[in-house]
Structure 1
Amino acid sequence: MAREHLTPQDWSNAALRAMARGGVAAVSVNALAGELGATRGSFYWHFKDRDALLTAALEMWEQHTTTALISELGDITDPRQRLTVLFATALGRESINGLEPAIVAHADHPAVAQVLRRVTERRIAYLTDLFAELGLAPAPARRQAVVTYAAYLGWHELRHSVCDIVPEVATTGAIATAALEHLVTELARPAMPHRTQPQ
């Protein structure tokens, strides 16, 4: 790709791919310029410095994986169906393999922390609202959202670190479909009221 045709999005995508491969340290201006067939001057045409690139890349990840997805789900009126589509999308193949675990692993990095916290808060808030629509009271809905999100993060970490044990959803056929349906059903089931034991 010629230098004059590069966009900030091209640099951001390259930064996310590098982060997925080797974490924040792998996001090197020189290495990315080599990958893109560009010069450092091309980089500085778009970004003030490396941290500005990291922020832009993470904000693009936020837009694609959270903001846009939530907007698309808004067209689905049934909350159970919305949850099903959300799970199928979230547990499916990542556009950049290993990116989510790499981002979470660098939660203490200043360029990562702010965006990651914002994404986490929005995702958990969205899940909380969704479970509330399915009949859970506010506190149980929040707890269910946190547990669900923790399971999501664990799924991606396992699939990244031991991919031979945790296969891709898209390739597991009927077993994955049955497991997903079971998970959706159980998570969407309102909690039974507590019954006191007879004296």
Structure 2
Amino acid sequence: MTQGDATAKARLSAGDWAQAALDALAAGGLAAVAVEPIAKRLGTTKGSFYWHFKDRAALIDAALARWEQRSTDDVIAEIDVETDPAERLHRLFAHVIDYAATGRIELALLASADQASVAATLRRVADRRIEYVAELLRESGLSAGHARTRAVVTVSIYHGFNQLARVSPDALPSTEAQRKALVDSAFESLLPKQH
């Protein structure tokens, strides 16, 4: 091992590699998660990669774990600082609609859902998101059955926004006021009517 390899290994963490893999995934799908091009982008060698990972599959697993943490667990933790379930749901919608305009990782993952590790991650994330939204809806007054159904609709709407942003970005609201109106409309359709 050369001095340069040791320095690169000291500078780059497994997290740096996982993030670079996510960036490659967003830009070119799962096939773009290749060690040599990522090493080049990071300004290092394959030796740095092998310092942190056994193989490409391990890098993909780390990238998937990072995406799951950031796109679901971290978002839920951020939303959960609010105590009112209706306000948490509203904030979640605002976050999701903003993300849908730029998020490309999920679309790339959906295109690779036939890969076992990707499929397992997507399933876990979808189940977690549905359960979280259902929990907020139950806390807002819906029965468990209605909350679950509306949570599935909510997560479906998010996936629709994400895909629409990819195929017809002009169809989504471009101003903050338009996004707020869309969030308000979606939010109102989910909660029980107040009498």
Q: TM-score of the superposition, structure 2-length normalised? A: 0.89
Map 1:18-97; keep pairs closer than 5 Å. Answer: 18-93=24-99, 97=103
Alpha-carbon distance, 1:111 to partner: 2.3
CA distance in 2, matches of 1:127, 1:69: 12
1:117 aligned onto 2:123 = yes
Alpha-carbon distance, 1:2 to partner: 4.4
Q: 1:95 to 1:173 in 2, by over 3 A?
A: closer
Tell whether the 8 Å contact from 2:24 to 2:32 is kept in structure 1 after alignment: yes
Q: 1:172 aligns with which of 165, 171, 175?
A: 175
Structure 2 match to 1:196: none
Structure 2 match to 1:107: 113
Tell whether the 8 Å contact from 2:103 to 2:162 is kept in structure 1 after alignment: no
Alpha-carbon distance, 1:73 to partner: 2.1
Q: Structure 2: which amino acid aligns with 1:124?
A: I
> Which has the higher mean CA deviation after the structures are superposed, 148-157 or 180-189?
180-189
> Which has the higher mean CA deviation after the structures are superposed, 40-49 or 176-185?
176-185
CA distance in 1, matches of 2:182, 2:45: 48
Count of residues paired in the alignment:
189
Q: Structure 1: which amino acid aligns with 2:167?
A: S
Tell whether the 8 Å contact from 1:134 to 1:190 is kept in structure 2 after alignment: no
Q: Alpha-carbon deviations, 1:154-179, whole Å to 9, x = none?
A: 10111022223324xxx412122122
More helix by share: 2
CA distance in 1, matches of 2:67, 2:117: 13
Tell whether the 8 Å contact from 1:29 to 1:43 is kept in structure 2 after alignment: yes
Q: Structure 2: which amino acid aligns with 1:184?
A: F
Q: 1:132 to 1:190 in 2, by over 3 A?
A: farther
Runs of 4+ in 1 over 4 A off after TM superposition: none
Q: Runs of 5+ in structure 2 lacking a partner?
A: 1-6
Alpha-carbon distance, 1:181 to partner: 1.1
CA distance in 1, matches of 2:101, 2:163: 15
Report SS of the residue matched to 2:172: coil
1:129 aligned onto 2:135 = yes
> Which has the higher mean CA deviation after the structures are superposed, 41-50 or 179-188?
179-188
Q: Runs of 5+ in structure 1 lacking a partner?
A: 193-199
Q: 1:6 to 1:139 in 2, by over 3 A?
A: same
Give RMSD over aligned pairs.
Answer: 2.1
Q: TM-score of the superposition, structure 1-length normalised? A: 0.87
